[in-house]
Structure 1
Amino acid sequence: MSKLTVSQVKALLKTIDNLTDPRLVELTADPRKGVQAALTQHQRWFKRRQAALAAFNQRFKYERALWQSGCQYVAGMDEVGRGPLAGPVVTCAVILDDQFDLVGVTDSKQLTRHERELLYLRIVDEAVEVSIAVNEPATIDRLNIYAATQDAMMRAVNSLYHRPDHLIVDAVPLPFDFPQTTLIKGDQKSISVAAASIVAKEYRDHLMRDYDQVYPGYGFAENMGYGTKEHLAGLAQHGVTPIHRRSFKPVPQYL
């Protein structure tokens, strides 16, 4: 091991995921500062990885318990876009299996845009099934946001090819005949709900960036329709667009 350069040692450490590996013991005796710094960095990485794995397994506990009870298909449900002044509410149902291993899947709000984008693509690729349903502003104004969210969630479930044996829903209980577990902050407690939150947010964010091209001047690409200072200034200057929710204050005053 002493014949390896520091760069080679760093490359080797990237392949070691067990702190009991005998090569680590040998490297510990290496007096070179670069090697010792690399070992310290590797130990920090390993601890972070172990913590992430533990958190991942904790967030999988609801799904595993339901699988063990005989449920084959468990769908996680989440929504994005209940609070904005403009744009749709987007809901998503995701069915995973016990082979799903994307450790980085967590509450979408805790991820960067780049992290969400990468995870979105992998979730869609690796999930058993993903279903999305959208309710536009006119429906939100007609039903109210809570009912419009429930309606979109139920349509997302009913559109699944695999009929779920059980639903895990983030905060919004659904009034239909599916066994369901409702979790407050479910995207922090359930992997399938977290996966649904990532897919729904990415889908809606892409829509709002497209709307920014159609309706410039409101900052939709950055604020995603929320009532930021830039968005309110756009309303004052340009008025209300077709994607604004007319039942949400202060939109009516700009009609």
Structure 2
Amino acid sequence: MTAAPTLDVERSLLAEGASAVIGVDEVGRGAIAGVVAVGACALLTVTDAPPERLRDSKLLSPARRAEVEPQVRAWAAAVAVGEAEPAEIDDLGIVAALGLAGRRALIALHEAGVPVADATVLLDGSHDWLTPALSLPPRIVTRVKGDRDCASVAGASVVAKQHRDALMAADHERWPVYGWAGNKGYGSAEHLAAVAAHGASPRHRVTWLRGPTLLDGLDS
């Protein structure tokens, strides 16, 4: 297994005076169906070690993620997942929809008692898509490979991935033809073929179904 994420960055941010560190990561950005989900994992201290098998969600098997996710919830001060619906992604675009989902996750943490306004948000990646969605944003620090290196961000990725996968499994029961239990809304060959054969569902991001491959199939 790859090296475990550490709390080095979180310790540094807390030492600088943050009242909490909130790791944030998104799941489902590149899917053509389903919500985009943003996970948030809040730490008030770093006295407890993270779950031993915690890794970026992309590095864990489904069985391992299911094992680790409740451990993350028990370890963190609080966790939350915000969503943006397919129609919101179509209306706003994916970057603004990410911000909307992230804002909803931070509101949920605030309602759980996390001092979000005085926290530092540790955001995976190099692009700060969260600040434009917030009227009074906390300090936001971007971190490339944060989901690999930082335990709070890895925790956010696991919680968000489990949450979104469960939503896609439930949607699969209603629209099984698209195979969402397996592809989780991403554009696999089978998924694209099902869209070409049956058209889009209410859970598809309609503006994303306009690439040359899909148009060729839909027009045939």
Q: Give 1:142 deviation, angstroms.
A: 0.3
Answer whether contact 1:168 1:181 (CA < 8 A) is retained.
Answer: yes
Q: Give 1:184 deviation, angstroms.
A: 1.6
State how 1:131-146 maps to structure 2 within 5 Å: 131-146=80-95
Moved more, 116-125 or 77-86: 116-125
Query: Highest relative contact order (Cα 8 Å, sep 6+), 1 or 2?
Result: 2
Q: Give 1:105 deviation, angstroms.
A: 1.2
SS in 2 for 1:217: helix
Partner of 2:22: 75
SS in 2 for 1:247: helix
CA–CA distance in structure 2, aligned partners of residues 159 and 149 of structure 1: 15
C-alpha RMSD of the superposition? 1.9
Partner of 2:51: 102
Which amino acid letter does the alignment assign opposite residue 177 of structure 2?
G
CA deviations on 1:58-104 (whole Å, 9 max, x unpaired) are: x2111011122222311000110010110000011111332143121
Partner of 2:36: 89
Partner of 1:229: 189
Is 1:169 the counterpart of 2:123? The answer is yes
Match of 1:129 among 78, 99, 102: 78
Answer whether contact 1:86 1:244 (CA < 8 A) is retained.
Answer: yes
CA–CA distance in structure 2, aligned partners of residues 140 and 179 of structure 1: 26
Answer whether contact 1:100 1:127 (CA < 8 A) is retained.
Answer: no
SS in 2 for 1:95: strand
Partner of 1:119: 68
CA–CA distance in structure 1, aligned partners of residues 13 and 157 of structure 2: 20
Answer whether contact 2:40 2:79 (CA < 8 A) is retained.
Answer: yes
Is 1:205 the counterpart of 2:154? The answer is no
SS in 2 for 1:134: strand
SS in 1 for 2:182: helix
Which amino acid letter does the alignment assign opposite residue 247 of structure 1?
T
Which amino acid letter does the alignment assign opposite residue 181 of structure 2?
A
CA–CA distance in structure 2, aligned partners of residues 100 and 144 of structure 1: 38
CA–CA distance in structure 2, aligned partners of residues 112 and 134 of structure 1: 23
Partner of 1:215: 175
CA–CA distance in structure 2, aligned partners of residues 247 and 209 of structure 1: 23
Q: Give 1:151 deviation, angstroms.
A: 1.4
Unaligned runs of 5+ in 1: 1-47
Partner of 2:13: 66
Q: Percent identity?
A: 37
Q: Give 1:127 deviation, angstroms.
A: 1.4
Unaligned runs of 5+ in 2: none
Partner of 1:7: none
CA–CA distance in structure 2, aligned partners of residues 132 and 219 of structure 1: 24
Q: TM-score, normalised by structure 2?
A: 0.86
Which amino acid letter does the alignment assign opposite residue 92 of structure 2?
L
Q: Give 1:156 deviation, angstroms.
A: 1.0
Q: Give 1:223 deviation, angstroms.
A: 0.4
Structure having the higher Rg: 1
Answer whether contact 2:51 2:75 (CA < 8 A) is retained.
Answer: no
**Paired residues, what number?**
202
